[in-house]
Every structure is written in structure tokens, then in C-alpha cells.
Chains A and B, each alone.
Chain A
Amino acid sequence: MGWLVPAVTVGGLLPVAVLIWDAYTGALGANPIQRATLQTGLLTLALLVASLACTPLRLLTGWTWPARIRKALGLLAFGYAALHFLIYLFDHGFSLGLMLEDVLERPFVTVGFTALLLLVPLALTSGRNSVKRLGFQRWTRLHQLVYLAVALGALHYYWGVKQDHTPPLIYAGVIAALFAVRFLKRRPTRKKASPT
């Protein structure tokens, strides 16, 4: 299975190549910056959801391979989040003043920016050394921040859409379902309190 992680990495980076190709050929349309912002944002969310699906998939099927690609998917998601942010900065002329105004005054941006910040420590502690250094329990607790990040990411998407909220609601539904699988599978079914 030595091919698995490289394959996921290359597959996950393929959309970058397509995005560059689309930009080059004009397929991004009349407002390529807006289109690229939307696309990298969607890719972030899709890859975060994919990384979050690994554990529930393992719990449901007993397969071990999902656990092996979780890190790659998480790092790819972070990469797209960073790219999304870079395009946003470019769109605002790399002006920190405009960025801060947006982050402080507009909940839609605040939420997206917070989600990005939450992903930074996770990306920095994605190596095996970090697990050893932090200890498994602390590392696990730190990485539970991803639940908050993905929820904020979905909210950011929901607020970013002007009127048709179906796609963000589908993402929110999938995220909720993944949380539910973890919750139900991890905890041994509690005995119902018998009436006394």
C-alpha cells in the first residue's frame, strides 16, 4: 500500500493544476479572482470533510486504509485554505488594514479567518514527532479543533452564499452525519436507566 499516500497527495493537488489551466485558458470566466476564491474555498471544505470521514469510515467498515490517508487529506485541506486566503489577500491589495477591517467588522469573514487560524496549529503538529512530543492524549485533544474549524468553515460558506443555501446545507448535513457516526460508534451504548 506504499502507493496510497502519494496517490492521495497527487490526486488532491490535481485541482490546483486544473485551476491554473482554467485561469490560463480563460475558463474561469469574466471574474477569475472571484471564481478562484470560490473554488479554493470549496476544495478546502471538501477535503476537510474527506479527512473527517476517515475515522467514521474505519469505524463502520473495519478498513485500516482510511486512517493512513487522513493526515494527507488534512494537510491538503490546509493548503487550499491557505491558497484561498492568499487569493483573498491579493484581491484586497495585500492591505492588512482592509483585512483587519473585514475580520473585525464582518462575521462572515471573522468566521472564515478563525477557521483558518484553527487549522494552523494542526498543520504544524501533523508530524509523528509532534505526537511523541505532545503525548498522544494532548495531541488528540488539540486535533479535536478540526471539528470547530470545519463547522466554522461550513458557516462561512453558508453566509457567503447570497440566496441558494442548498449546497452549504448539504455540506453541513454531511458534517453532522460524520459527527453522529463518531459519537454513536465510539461510546458503548449506555444502558437505559431502569425505573425503580
Chain B
Amino acid sequence: MSHKPEHTDSNPDERRILVPGSSLNPRREFLRSAALFTGTVAALGGGLEVLTRRPGAGSAEAQGTDFVRPNRPLGPYDTKEAVTPYQQATTYNNFYELGTDKADPARNAGSLKPRPWTVKIDGEVKKPQTVDIDTLQSWFPLEDRIYRMRCVEGWSMVMPWLGFPLAGLIRRLEPTSKAKYVQFTALLDPKQLPGQRGNVLDWPYVEGLRLDEALHPLAFMAVGLHGKVLPGQNGAPLRLVVPWKYGFKGIKSIVKITLTEKQPQTTWMRAAPSEYGFYANVNPAVPHPRWSQATERRIGELGRRKTLPFNGYADEVAGLYKGMDLRKNF
């Protein structure tokens, strides 16, 4: 304001400025501007935060009951690489049934009730049945398996699973001669899995393996993680782990296992067939349409490391795909 203040002579304390369009004194004018400034900063800054901030659930930790950890040496397939801490392995999850954001599953896992739980086994088996999860689990001695896990999105973890080989389960079910594939179906229950209230994917989640893949000693059914009962966000009470394939093959919260003659139509094949194939073998030579698969970020590290063919399990599993064009059968 360039106008010279004119004081009213009646009250020298109230320095009213006679500026056209303003009836305020300089102090009040300043306070008013300061208030408007602060209000605007808060409104714009706050508005932008509300619109864009996606905090990553840095501190929430999964509640887990400790397993009695089997006291046996680690098996021949275990990696010696540093294990991803429990806190990170349980707060950074893809489990769309519990929300599409990485932090959603940990936040929403409380609604998933892993007990009581039954698994239905049907299709081309001689012993179709519905079995309680605790019974199913008791059929096998639980093993530690420290596996690399590579997500199709370009990040990876090292997961200490607890469970049993899938091959043991399949053999016990006695497949018929017609059985060529194994189809897994996850729980469909929007009450327990709030992400299923929307149509982000075609629920229930379905995954599948060729029978020889399922019988490979690396294919694993996990019921625990880090020596604790599997948390909801990691797919309690029963999930598939196929360490040479992208993480989405590892279907969570399984309620049905069906042996089939025909190749199952999996959920991600239906959602985006050009991006996610049936095999989904980790392959640095075949890029995703939107990003390269040549490198990955190990969770906990800032840089990237080279992705290995079949996620480093080529010696064990490459033979399963002899003669196949893995660019077409991605």
C-alpha cells in the first residue's frame, strides 16, 4: 500500500488507515493476509496429499502365531541369500482380494478367517474329497523352504516358507490317467475378502499348472512364513509357491484343487492375455509390454539386479520346457 496513513485524531491507538477500499489497519491487514496465506497453503497442500498420498503401511506388522519350527537342516533347494524381513514380507503384498494397493492386504487381512477351512479336491482323481486344512496339513511333515520370489512387476523377495511339496499331495490324491493339469481355486467370499466387492478381476481367482510342473519337487504348498502361521495377506491358510514362475502364479487362500484334462483358464489370462500367459516362467528375455523384465529390485535394496532365467532355478526346471518356444508360451 503506497498511501500514507492518515490518523484519526480522536483515537491515536487505533491507527485506522484511510485507504480506498480498505477499512483495516496495517496490523489487521497483515494478520488477514497471513491467515489467507496459511489457509491457502493448507488447502492446496492438504488437497494434493489427499488426492495423491499413498503411504506404504511402513509400521503395520502382521500378527502371527509361532509354529513349532521343525528342527531339521535346510533342504537342497534353499537359497543362502539374505531373507526378506518378516515386516516387509507381510506389508508389501499383491492380494487383490484384499485390495489393489500393496499396503491394502496387511490393512484388510483381519476380515479373512483361515479357520475353520476346508479344501475340496475333485476332478480326475481316484480319491475326491473335502478335507479340513489341519487334517490336510497333518498328512505331511512340514519343511522349511527358502525360495526367491520374483513378481511380474519387477521386484523380488526371499521368502522362508513353511509347508510341504505339492507332489506329495498330488500323489496322495491318485490322479487318473486323464489328469494333465492341476487347477487351483481361491476363496470366493466378499465378506472375508472385501476386494471381491468390486470387479477388478473375475473372481474367484483361478490358477493352474501342468501336471509335470505340479509334480516337480520345487512346487510347494505353504502354510507358514518365517516359522509362523501364514498371515492373511500372504494367503492364509494355504497357498501355492512356484519359485521359478512369476509371483501371481502363487494363488492364495486355496479352497479347491481340481485335476483336469484341459489347460485351466487362469484369472490373469482372462484379464490381460497379452500380458500374462499360462506359463508365466520368470524370463529376463521376454519383456512385459510396459517394462523390461531384465532386472528386478530386491525389496530392501535401492538398486536393481539382473533377473535370472527361471528365477535362478533353470538347472532344476528348464527340462520341463524342452522344445517349447518360451516367447510364445510366456
Interface residues of chain A, those whose CB is within 8 Å of chain B, are 2-4, 6-8, 10-12, 14-15, 18, 22, 25-35, 38-39, 42-43, 46-47, 91-93, 98, 101-102, 105-109, 159-160, 162-164
Contacts and interface: CB of A to CB of B under 8 A. Distances in A.
Interface in B193-251: 198, 200-201
A12 B56 contact: no
Given A26-B58, A29-B103, A93 B51 contact: no
A159 B290 contact: yes
A29 to B, nearest CB: 2
Given A28-B56, A42-B52, A163 B271 contact: yes
A14 B45 contact: yes
B300 interface: yes
A35 B45 contact: no
Interface in B273-288: 287
B48 A15 contact: yes
A42 B50 CA distance: 11
Nearest to A49: B51
Contacts of A160: 290
10 contacts: A7-B37, A7-B40, A8-B40, A29-B55, A38-B54, A43-B48, A46-B48, A47-B48, A162-B153, A163-B100
B302 interface: yes
Interface stretch (B5-13, B121-129, B291-299, B308-316): B291-299
A46 B155 contact: no
Contacts of A8: 40, 44
B27 interface: no
B35 to A, nearest CB: 9
B150 interface: no
Interface in B45-101: 45-46, 48-49, 51-59, 88, 91-92, 96, 100
B271 A31 contact: no
B51 A46 contact: yes
B53 A109 contact: no
B42 interface: yes
B290 A11 contact: no
B287 A27 contact: no
B304 interface: yes
A11 B96 CA distance: 34
Looking at chain A's contact residues, is the secondary structure mostly helix, strand, loop, or mixed?
helix
B56 A14 contact: no
Contacts of A2: 33
A93 B304 contact: yes
Nearest to B32: A3
A29 B300 CA distance: 10
Given A7-B40, A30-B91, A30-B92, A39 B52 contact: yes
Contacts of B24: none
A106 B287 CA distance: 10
B102 interface: yes
Given A7-B36, A14-B45, A15-B45, A31 B290 contact: no
Contacts of B323: none
Contact of A39 (B46, B53, B272, B303): B53
A77 to B, nearest CB: 11
B40 A42 contact: no
B43 interface: yes
Nearest to A166: B198
A4 to B, nearest CB: 7
A29 B92 contact: yes
Contact of B304 (A10, A27, A91): A91
B21 interface: no
Given A93-B304, A164-B200, A11 B58 contact: no
Task: Point out which of B37, B96, B271 has the most chain A C-beta atoms below 10 A from its C-beta.
Answer: B37
A164 B100 contact: yes
Given A14-B46, A15-B49, A34-B297, 20 more contacts: A12-B45, A12-B48, A14-B45, A25-B58, A27-B59, A28-B55, A29-B91, A30-B92, A30-B102, A31-B56, A31-B102, A32-B56, A33-B297, A34-B155, A35-B54, A39-B53, A106-B287, A109-B291, A163-B100, A164-B100
